[in-house]
Amino acid sequence: MSTIRAVAIGCGHYLPKRVVENVEFEQWVETSDEWIRARTGIERRHFAADGELTSDLAYHASIDALNDAGIEASDIDAIVLATSTPDQTFPSTATKLQAKLGIKVGFAFDLQAVCAGFAYALTTANSLIISGQAKRILVIGAETFSRIMDWEDRTTCVLFGDGAGALILEAQEGNGSNEDRGVLSCDLNSDGTYNDILYVDGGVSSTQTTGVLKMEGQEVFKHAVKKLSSSGEAALEKIGLTGQDVDWIVPHQANLRIIKKTAQKMGVPMERVVVTVQDHGNTSAASIPLAMSVANKNGQIQKNQLLLTEAIGGGLAWGAIVLRW
> Tens of pLDDT along 70-87?
999 999 999 999 999 999
Q: Is 252 a catalytic residue?
A: yes
Q: Which of 62, 57, 24, 13 has its CA nearest to residue 253?
A: 13
CA separation for the pair 282, 289 (Å, rounded)? 12
The per-residue pLDDT for range 131-170, each reduced to its tens digit, is 999 999 999 999 999 999 999 999 999 999 999 999 999 9
Can you name the residues that pair with 7 across neighbouring β-strands? 170
- 317 touches 284 (CB < 8 A): no
Query: Quick check: is 115 catalytic?
Result: yes
Question: One of 11, 13, 115, 126 is an active-site residue; which one?
Answer: 115
Catalytic residue among 22, 126, 282, 296: 282
Confidence tier at 1 by pLDDT (50, 70, 90) = confident
pLDDT in tens, 212-241: 999 999 999 999 999 999 999 999 999 999
With a threshold of 0.95, does the pTM exceed it? yes
Per the annotation, the verdict on 186 as an active-site residue is no
Catalytic residue among 186, 252, 255, 296: 252
CA distance 141 to 54: 10
Closest CA to 162 of 57, 79, 256: 57
